[in-house]
Amino acid sequence: MGKITFGDLLELFPQLELPLFLDDESASLFSQNNDPFPGELFDAMLRPLLPDDDEYTEYVPCFRISQDEYHALVIWKASLLTYEYLMLIFDKKGQFLSSERIGGMLVRDDQLFRRVAHFDEEGIIHIAEGATDLSERFDPKESNTYEIEILPNGEIYSSRSKLN
């Protein structure tokens, strides 16, 4: 691979029509339909921005939302007992601006934590998250819902509320 550009990275992320929903089943569609990250491109452009991982960690490009001032790239990250959707925001020149975990599942001890995301037609991301003890039934009162909006400058605005 020659000189790596931000455009090379963008090409891996199809622009999808809104609305769309991200849950555990969405990841298999992205894995089947999108090309994997070339190692050199991933190491140069994304590895410095992502949390530490191990040899069992896999990353898949999902999709992008491009606006006048930014590109929001969504990546699926899978590791042992954890998967998550990460949203990375870049300006039009490819400078990293911000990031957010917008979906996923994590098993820790006897707890299952889940987060799903719905992107509406205006690009507002509606998040629902909750935890359940693996030996008990799910209690919706222990769930949270909030919205994420990407501001025109690429900053992420989050509004959290407790479900009643």
86 pairs with which residues across the strands?
Answer: 75, 101
- Check whether 153 has a pLDDT greater than 70: yes
How sure is the predictor about 139, in pLDDT bands with cuts at 50, 70 and 90?
low
| Within a domain: 121 | yes
- The percentage of the chain sitting over the pLDDT mark of 70, rounded to a whole number, equals 95
| Within a domain: 120 | yes
For residue 86, give the H/E element and its range: strand 82-91
| Within a domain: 1 | no
At 1 the pLDDT is: 57
Please state the domain count of the chain.
1
Chain mean pLDDT for the chain: 88
At 80 the pLDDT is: 86
25 secondary structure, DSSP code: T
Q: Are 27 and 60 in contact (CB under 8 A)?
A: yes
161 pairs with which residues across the strands?
Answer: 145
| Within a domain: 59 | yes
pLDDT tens-digit map of 45-77: 999 998 778 888 999 999 999 999 999 999 999
At 138 the pLDDT is: 65
| Within a domain: 115 | yes
Question: Which range of residues forms the domain containing residue 28?
Answer: 6-162
| Within a domain: 22 | yes
For residues 128-147, average pLDDT: 80
| Within a domain: 64 | yes
